[in-house]
């Protein structure tokens, strides 16, 4: 059995609060400095292509998104970083931050709802049910193991 201290350390590691996970690379620090210099406030958003053109080590937007996520999750950086379809920026006012965080929460909530529905379907796999027509199955089949794939021999 783990000690309380070990359990807390594991929990911190799982949610990204250990010092190892909080360390940012030089490139991520450069991105943060760029945001502080050029993208303070929603009106000054900077697009991914503009970040690439700054020559701080990024060549594609997925790399930028990954770095933005690391910066957001870092306990070292205290500012709120906003990421929208139009670009990235640091929240300049409390209203901007609240507006962004509300939209972000709604986006995550929608994803969690879809995930919950998929888990619910999986739990019902193989369970019998009442049918009312000849086209309905007598049991729930949420796993597609009966459907042949391209690799089937």
**How does pLDDT run across 100-132, given as a tens digit for each residue?**
999 999 988 988 888 888 888 888 888 888 888
- CA 104, CA 80: separation in Å to the nearest integer? 12
- CA 114, CA 116: separation in Å to the nearest integer? 5
- CA 30, CA 58: separation in Å to the nearest integer? 10
Phi and psi at 83, nearest 5°, equal: -125, 120
The domains of the chain, with CATH numbers, are 4-92 (1.10.10), 93-142 (no CATH)
What average pLDDT does this structure show over 39-67? 93
CA angle 10, 23, 86 (to 5 degrees): 110
How does residue 153 score in pLDDT terms, banded at 50, 70 and 90? very low
Q: Can you say whether the dihedral through the CA atoms of 141, 145, 148, 149 is positive or negative?
A: positive
What is the tens place of the pLDDT at every residue in 61-98?
A: 999 999 999 999 888 889 999 999 999 999 999 999 99
What percentage of the chain has pLDDT greater than the value 70?
A: 86
Average pLDDT, the chain: 84
Q: Exposed, middle or buried: residue 2 (CB in 10 Å: 0-12, 13-18, 19+)? A: exposed
């Amino acid at each position: 059995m783990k000690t309380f201290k070990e359990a807390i350390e594991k929990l911190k590691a799982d949610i990204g609060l250990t010092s190892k996970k909080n360390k940012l690379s030089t490139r991520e620090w450069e991105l943060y400095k760029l945001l502080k210099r050029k993208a303070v406030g929603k009106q000054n958003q900077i697009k991914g292509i503009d970040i690439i053109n700054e020559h701080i080590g990024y060549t594609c937007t997925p790399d930028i998104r990954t770095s933005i996520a690391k910066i957001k999750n870092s306990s070292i950086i205290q500012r709120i970083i906003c990421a929208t379809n139009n670009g990235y920026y640091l929240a300049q006012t409390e209203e901007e931050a609240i507006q962004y965080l509300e939209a972000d929460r709604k986006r995550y909530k929608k994803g969690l709802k879809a995930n919950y529905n998929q888990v619910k379907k999986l739990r019902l796999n193989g369970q019998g049910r009442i049918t009312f027509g000849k086209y309905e199955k007598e049991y729930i089949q949420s796993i597609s193991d009966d459907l042949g794939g391209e690799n089937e021999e």
